[in-house]
Amino acid sequence: MTRIAFIGAGSVVFTQGLLADLFGFDDLGELHIALHDIDPERLRTAASAAAVIATELGARPTISAHLDRRAALEGCDFVVNIIQVGMNDATRIDFDLPARYGVRQTIGDTLGVGGVFRALRTFPVLRGLAADIAAVCPDAWLLNYTNPMAMNVWYLSALGVRNVVGLCHSVHWTMYDLSELVGVPFEEVRYLAGGVNHQSWVLRFEHGGESLYPALDEVIRRDPEMLRRVRVDMYRRLGYYPTETSEHSSEYVPWYLPHDSEIERLRLPVGEYLRIVEENVASYEKTRDAVKAGDPVPVEATMEYAPQIIHSIVTGAPRTVYGNVVNDGLISNLPSGSVVEVPCLVDALGVQPTAIGVLPAACAAVNAAYVNVNTLVVKAALDQDPRAIRQALMADPATAATLTVDQIWALCNDLVVAHSNLLDPELRAVL
Amino acid sequence: MTRIAFIGAGSVVFTQGLLADLFGFDDLGELHIALHDIDPERLRTAASAAAVIATELGARPTISAHLDRRAALEGCDFVVNIIQVGMNDATRIDFDLPARYGVRQTIGDTLGVGGVFRALRTFPVLRGLAADIAAVCPDAWLLNYTNPMAMNVWYLSALGVRNVVGLCHSVHWTMYDLSELVGVPFEEVRYLAGGVNHQSWVLRFEHGGESLYPALDEVIRRDPEMLRRVRVDMYRRLGYYPTETSEHSSEYVPWYLPHDSEIERLRLPVGEYLRIVEENVASYEKTRDAVKAGDPVPVEATMEYAPQIIHSIVTGAPRTVYGNVVNDGLISNLPSGSVVEVPCLVDALGVQPTAIGVLPAACAAVNAAYVNVNTLVVKAALDQDPRAIRQALMADPATAATLTVDQIWALCNDLVVAHSNLLDPELRAVL
Amino acid sequence: MTRIAFIGAGSVVFTQGLLADLFGFDDLGELHIALHDIDPERLRTAASAAAVIATELGARPTISAHLDRRAALEGCDFVVNIIQVGMNDATRIDFDLPARYGVRQTIGDTLGVGGVFRALRTFPVLRGLAADIAAVCPDAWLLNYTNPMAMNVWYLSALGVRNVVGLCHSVHWTMYDLSELVGVPFEEVRYLAGGVNHQSWVLRFEHGGESLYPALDEVIRRDPEMLRRVRVDMYRRLGYYPTETSEHSSEYVPWYLPHDSEIERLRLPVGEYLRIVEENVASYEKTRDAVKAGDPVPVEATMEYAPQIIHSIVTGAPRTVYGNVVNDGLISNLPSGSVVEVPCLVDALGVQPTAIGVLPAACAAVNAAYVNVNTLVVKAALDQDPRAIRQALMADPATAATLTVDQIWALCNDLVVAHSNLLDPELRAVL
Amino acid sequence: MTRIAFIGAGSVVFTQGLLADLFGFDDLGELHIALHDIDPERLRTAASAAAVIATELGARPTISAHLDRRAALEGCDFVVNIIQVGMNDATRIDFDLPARYGVRQTIGDTLGVGGVFRALRTFPVLRGLAADIAAVCPDAWLLNYTNPMAMNVWYLSALGVRNVVGLCHSVHWTMYDLSELVGVPFEEVRYLAGGVNHQSWVLRFEHGGESLYPALDEVIRRDPEMLRRVRVDMYRRLGYYPTETSEHSSEYVPWYLPHDSEIERLRLPVGEYLRIVEENVASYEKTRDAVKAGDPVPVEATMEYAPQIIHSIVTGAPRTVYGNVVNDGLISNLPSGSVVEVPCLVDALGVQPTAIGVLPAACAAVNAAYVNVNTLVVKAALDQDPRAIRQALMADPATAATLTVDQIWALCNDLVVAHSNLLDPELRAVL
């Protein structure tokens, strides 16, 4: 029997999608789905939805629901981490306080002020999770979806979690969209991407042995509106297409968000994630009400890697996935020890990252700034060094292009106070 | 259409097996098999055999035969290298001259005197091959089977061949045999091996999440005759099972071949390869006579990786194979730049090595000696430095445990003279 | 006899100082000073000044003056490079054009727009110099003073110049000033610095085995005006004192120059170097007129490393100097292959860099941005890739914090046109 | 005041030499020499000799003698480690037991059976020393003379001793002898050596900018008896002169000691160290009797690095010394983390290793075997893994060229029993 824990299962919509994929496999053998959340209502909703999905797909898993995390983890083979620490209230703080200082953010979950504080409030929970895993399922694969991806995976690895990989669909959907743009069936496109999460680069984009980049250039040439996308702007200047959406990509560089004119030119949706948060709440409530009422819930397959990885490890069927893992020889011109995103082989042995060598210099330079921030945030947590939080934001490209150092320190002071109850005590210091 | 060149196709038995696998796939689309050999009779035999096999398997490839190598390579997607430079006469020299000095060899194609001189006479041909590939099919995948594997792949990489991987079935068959030994179905065994070709180590050997090494220990305990195998002896002392046969494994270490008592205890078949050479000649002649007579030829599938790799690259179906590639971050405690054997992901993008981290210290120590020899032989060729040939054999574990340095130099002098016509002029120097 | 070439000897004031130091040693044996400049008047002035200094110090060197560079280099043991390509006109362009776009610079010779274009116009001359050295004095030590230091040393190393080291007095004078600030005799202070040129960090600052940083903190606490220095601001936030002056340090980070309020708070002298240029012209003219009139010229010893290095190599007396060299294992958390500044042993064998290990994370993060720019500028020259110039400035912290990407590209276009006659033809492209 | 502890001060003759050097400096300020030994008589003798030497040299140090090690270390600036664990009895076992198996040794203190067991019995004492240093003088420089040098320094570093360097005069005396051989004043010779302790290589050997190797070749050509030296034999084959005596150099390679004919040809003094041990005892007794009788004791300066290092650190005067330190970027083709011997800058900041880059391939190959043994012995101690002791000797070139694996294991069993009282309990296991 294969036992899979969902930590933060109350992110019901996401849980639904993953379960739909899992229950869609017919060769996984017996499954035990152990759901955990700290919110009883959300946990109940998740469990009900899981049962409904199983029924609709004709699967017969064991489903258990646990308010106690360690109970959920007991004896697990896989742990899917989809927690969101502080939920929407914390997210609003991440946007509102920086906005008062003039810092613009769109999604705010990866780098920048939002990403840094999301990491800092997630780390204490990850520390508990790591301790539980060490105690009751030390060999389990921890499939992390929680952002900020790179910092979380780095911190979990530093805590000694043996088998951890961070998963994100951005490479997949980028390639899907690019294929559509150039009019080639996605299945026929061959691609290689690599870099850091939400800022990888399409290193190869080919069809029938030929690069598709000229075709993309032609598409851009024909439609000047294409130039009003951040990722197209980055592609034209750096030579490689970035693997995140334009609003998201804009946050990790100093070039766009600080300028009013670029907000306009590139139609950047400042505060976008606050709107998404509202939608997520609405989606959740719809599911909650449906399961309460005994109505059917949507069962839509995704393309997420977690179910695929579980399938490959259980059955031995090899697959290629993109994973976020510690850079131990994988990308030679990004810092050793940082967390990078590379193609991974997954088969019965688990997720095995491939070494992709040297990134193009301009891409590596952009990634290097991203890694700097990660390094300092992880250091802040490992060394319990509140000064490193400020240093992280001084190194953050978009923040540093907007604020003076005094403002950065003042904003940090405001944020450690506002998030105080979720932070490690040492990191609440006002400097 | 997919075009595949076989260089050294006159190694007919091997060619037959690979073609049987290839023609067995039904989703490869149109195939052009371009056979090359410098021996017209063998080339004719190979071409006839290929046609027969295609017919027997209902495949309809284009088959062409070329005495001119570059013509065979023209426009190829894949190049399978199975040449044997100097053939049996050279092999006999590799055994007979060292034997006069008291150096014992069993297979002599990987390390030791035989391996070193096999490399030195193969390199000039590889140089020509590399130049041809650069000229007419620079993006082709070069799938090398020719020994000495690690040195050849190293040299080819140093020559700038872009897509080269060395393939060997020893990991596969080792795991197959081990599974049989412990009585677990091979399909259910999960394994990880890594190291250098013919001297990788079974790092993980598991069933249902548990190590199978205790079961192997029990098998050994029950049957004292098991101890009379070199690889079992090495396993007991080093803690990890080596991936080559006992006779072969004995050649890369100083511990066995130099001692009469160990020859006896471990039943080491000195000169074994000379017997295999005779068998190969007989097999070839049988096939030759059969195709001449219009008789059927054996069509036996193999488990070789080359057809699998071609299939994965053409169709995109992911697979795990073992490949010999340059150590660029793959095994962190073997020298960077050397050629190592690791699991590789193969899909539409090609063969992508996974990074496996740190080898157990005792295993890495044994591999390090092997790498030393490779380093010096490749250096001898790249720098045209005849002294490095002697230094390679001074570093060779079994040779150095047998001869004095004066003898090593005298033996080298004898060998450069004996192989003179196949060596680079600079390397024929008598020192 | 020891032969020393001064390339760009017409930077007379600097030449004077170095010669005063050299002629002050009494154990160097016979010296031949070969002066080279492309400006005949400056060359004549330098030669006359050299003769005067020799006389005043009682030294009897051979002094020769050469308009032909290779003639000056012939048989040299040491080459001191103090060229300034494009002189004051080019410098004015480096300041004025960016200023029109709102880019502020103070010195503009290391990073930023000024640093990048100074590199690009210096590289072609360095290429000629490297070729001459290879031809007539391949073993000579090339002691480079020309900025941008790190990029020039990187490029020279990439061109294969064997013995090159970049020299700068900023570490020395920083420590001298710091000693004064805390009231400890400079001779009694022990210090270690490391990083990149003009942005190294005072890693140790000690007296009698105790850190002097607390004493510095006390000095800062007592005098609030201290906080109005960029380097004090950086020290307080990053924890390590930077080794360049405040105006210079402000140019390599995104934090100060883009903000009007910081210009005011930190009293940043925008355009400062243009004033220095005027002073340099005046100094030169004073010397020129003095030697013409047969008047004495000032003979002031410096603390520059070049004379010290020459003395140590010639006599074998060991010394510690700070040198800029390729990072081959020296600083483990800065990119391998970049040019870093570390303590070096200099004795009869030459300049031998010491490995200093890991920089503090916040310092390394700041240096990483500096290295990114260097990487892309050197790549622009090596690959003749005009796009990499733009990418360098997109990666430049102060530039990227000021301009939009469109502005960066427009500014680059203006600059390649303005500097056109000094750039490699491929790099003059308007994109 | 500078406080220097001598641990194992009862190695009186060595202590005398170091003190003579130290007391010969007139600018060290006040000195406190704290002598420690576990043998009261030897400790008394050392203290008396120290007093006599001070008087003879007109120095006025404080001298204290301590049977308690921690008391000696209290507040020290420098710790000189010259212990010999097990003394002569243990040494005799190291020679006699292997001899019964046919293993020949000459010095037996670096590699091979003698070196391995010397390490294993020294490590527990080093562990205590490291704990004491951490407790009472954590910033002290530990200047280690105790063999096996590389393994001891590696183990001490792994235990977290901050400032440790291993010192050996072999590079110095090799260069001294080589200079004499070619008839050039030692002071005029420039040299660079690097590798591992007792097996470094003379990478540069120059006079007036020209290599002296041709002169050495000529000396060898003229005197055929020169060829009967191991180090000359190695030099001729490998191209670089080794930095240890011939008898010592013979122990780290598989080429000489296993062959009767080479013992004869190269006049190898098997068991040599047992004779030296006798001489050491006689020297000690002579000194002991002299100080008892109030007679003068010899005051001979040495060229050892410890007094020089102390002088440079105390006064700030820069020097070049050879030190054994952890390979953190120093020699790029020897394993990172191993202990290597390189030139070091020593000044007020301490001993600062220089990075020397790539060793010649043949030299690195020989060193690699040496490092393999070190790796496994240190692992045996750190992991308390008795199997790694056997693996170390299986990797030891001379041992593996002499014995079968069964013999190696039997010999190890004999030795762990014979040395039982000096080994860590876990390592006494008979396997």
End-to-end CA distance of chain C: 52
Strands A31-36 and A2-7: parallel
Confidence at residue A299, expressed as pLDDT on a 0 to 100 scale: 82
- Give the residue numbers of B annotated as catalytic, written as ranges: 169
Task: Considering the candidates D32, D36, D66, D169, report the single residue annotated as catalytic.
Answer: D169
The string over C198-219, giving b where at least 16 C-beta atoms fall within 10 Å of a residue's C-beta and e elsewhere, is bbbbbbbbbbeeeebbebbeeb
For residue C244, give both structure tokens: 């360049």
Q: Is residue C232 part of a domain?
A: no
Residue to substitute from B311, B320, B336, interface A, most A β-carbons within 10 A:
B320
CB atoms A258 and C372 under 8 Å: no
Q: Is residue D352 part of a domain?
A: yes
Taking the CA atoms of B146, B148, B154 and B158 in sequence, report the sign of the dihedral they define: negative
Active site residue D169: yes
Q: Nearest Cβ partner of C349 from D192, D316, D329?
A: D192
Q: How far is B334 from chain D (nearest CA, A)?
A: 8
CB atoms B328 and A357 under 8 Å: yes
For residue D160, give both structure tokens: 């977290």
User: Using the 8-state DSSP alphabet, how is residue B359 labeled?
Assistant: P
Q: Nearest Cβ partner of D365 from B238, B375, B401?
A: B375
- Do C111 and C370 touch, CB atoms closer than 8 A? yes
CB proximity list for D97: less than 8 A, separation 6 or greater: D113, D411, D414, D415, D418
Confidence at residue B296, expressed as pLDDT on a 0 to 100 scale: 86
Question: What is the count of residue pairs from C and D with beta carbons less than 8 Å apart?
Answer: 73
Q: Which residues of chain C have pLDDT under 50?
A: none
For residue C270, give both structure tokens: 């925008």
Nearest residue of B to residue D373 by CA position?
Answer: B365
Note down the domain range covering D24.
1-168+240-356+367-425
| Dist. CA B186–CA B208, nearest whole Å | 12
CB atoms A361 and C369 under 8 Å: no
End-to-end CA distance of chain D: 52
Q: Under DSSP, is residue B421 helix (H, G, I), strand (E, B) or coil?
A: helix
Confidence at residue B299, expressed as pLDDT on a 0 to 100 scale: 82
Q: Is residue A173 part of a domain?
A: no
Neighbours of chain A (3+ CB pairs under 8 A): B, C
Strands C190-196 and C163-166: unpaired
Q: How far is CA C196 from the centre of its chain?
A: 11
Q: Is B354 on the interface with A (CB under 8 A)?
A: yes
Q: Is residue C204 part of a domain?
A: no
Query: How many residues in total does chain A contain?
Result: 431
- Specify the residue for token string 């044994």: B366
Q: Is D345 on the interface with C (CB under 8 A)?
A: yes
Structure confidence by residue, pLDDT tens digits, B178-200: 999 999 999 999 999 999 999 99
Neighbours of chain C (3+ CB pairs under 8 A): A, D
A/D touch flag: 3 or more CB pairs below 8 Å: no
Residue to substitute from C345, C347, C358, interface D, most D β-carbons within 10 A:
C345
Q: Is C262 on the interface with A (CB under 8 A)?
A: yes
Q: Is B238 on the interface with D (CB under 8 A)?
A: yes
Neighbours of chain B (3+ CB pairs under 8 A): A, D
Q: How many structural domains is chain C composed of?
A: 1
Q: Is C382 on the interface with A (CB under 8 A)?
A: no
User: Using the 8-state DSSP alphabet, how is residue C357 labeled?
Assistant: B
Q: Is C147 annotated as a binding residue?
A: yes
Q: Is A98 on the interface with C (CB under 8 A)?
A: no
Q: Is C36 annotated as a binding residue?
A: no
The values of phi and psi at residue B296, to 5°, are: -70, 150
Structure confidence by residue, pLDDT tens digits, C3-14: 999 999 999 989
CB proximity list for A366: less than 8 A, separation 6 or greater: A199, A238, A252, A253, C395
CB atoms C237 and A379 under 8 Å: no
Q: Is B388 on the interface with D (CB under 8 A)?
A: yes
Confidence at residue D152, expressed as pLDDT on a 0 to 100 scale: 98
Residue to substitute from D111, D246, D261, D405, interface B, most B β-carbons within 10 A:
D405
Confidence at residue B298, expressed as pLDDT on a 0 to 100 scale: 78
Structure confidence by residue, pLDDT tens digits, B44-73: 999 999 999 999 999 999 999 999 999 999
Residue to substitute from D203, D311, D349, interface C, most C β-carbons within 10 A:
D349
Task: Indicate the pLDDT class of residue A296, thresholds 50, 70 and 90.
Answer: confident
Degrees to nearest 5, angle at CA B412 with B411 and B414: 65
User: Using the 8-state DSSP alphabet, how is residue D359 labeled?
Assistant: P
Q: Is residue C185 part of a domain?
A: no
Taking the CA atoms of D178, D182, D183 and D187 in sequence, report the sign of the dihedral they define: negative
Q: Which of B29, B34, B13, B397 is nearest to B234 (CA)?
A: B397
Q: Is residue B334 part of a domain?
A: yes
CATH of the domain at B247: 3.90.1820.10
Q: Is residue D231 part of a domain?
A: no
CB contact residues (below 8 A), chain D span 406-425, against chain C = none
pTM for the structure as a whole: 0.97
Question: What is the count of residue pairs from A and C with beta carbons less than 8 Å apart?
Answer: 98
Helical H segments across C137-226, by residue range: 149-158, 170-182, 213-222
Q: Is B400 on the interface with D (CB under 8 A)?
A: yes
Q: Is residue C361 part of a domain?
A: no
Beta partners for A106? Answer: none
CB-CB neighbors (< 8 A) of D344 in chain C: 345, 354
**Average pLDDT of the segment spanning B398-405:** 98
Q: Nearest Cβ partner of D329 from C320, C329, C352?
A: C329
Q: How far is CA C371 from the centre of its chain?
A: 15
Q: Left if phi > 0, otherwise alpha if psi is -120 to 50, otherwise beta: which for B239?
A: left
CB-CB neighbors (< 8 A) of C330 in chain D: 329, 355
Task: Indicate the pLDDT class of residue A301, thresholds 50, 70 and 90.
Answer: confident
pLDDT at B424 over 90: yes
Task: Considering the candidates C169, C207, C248, C311, report the single residue annotated as catalytic.
Answer: C169
Q: Nearest Cβ partner of B333 from D335, D362, D391?
A: D335
Nearest residue of A to residue C383 by CA position?
Answer: A361
Helical H segments across C258-300, by residue range: 260-265, 272-293
Question: What is the count of residue pairs from B and D with beta carbons less than 8 Å apart?
Answer: 96
Q: Is C299 on the interface with A (CB under 8 A)?
A: no
Confidence at residue B300, expressed as pLDDT on a 0 to 100 scale: 83
- Extract long-range pairs of C204-211: CB within 8 Å, 24+ residues apart: C204/D349, C205/C175, C205/C178, C205/C241, C209/D139
Q: Is C361 on the interface with A (CB under 8 A)?
A: yes
Structure confidence by residue, pLDDT tens digits, B307-348: 999 999 999 999 999 999 999 999 999 999 999 999 999 999
CB-CB neighbors (< 8 A) of A374 in chain C: none
For residue D250, give both structure tokens: 């013979």
Q: Which residues of chain D have pLDDT under 50?
A: none
Q: Which of C245, C254, C273 is nearest to C372 (CA)?
A: C254
Nearest residue of A to residue B358 by CA position?
Answer: A328
CB atoms A237 and C394 under 8 Å: yes
Structure confidence by residue, pLDDT tens digits, A375-404: 999 999 999 999 999 999 999 999 999 999
Q: How far is B138 from chain A (nearest CA, A)?
A: 12
pLDDT at A339 over 90: yes
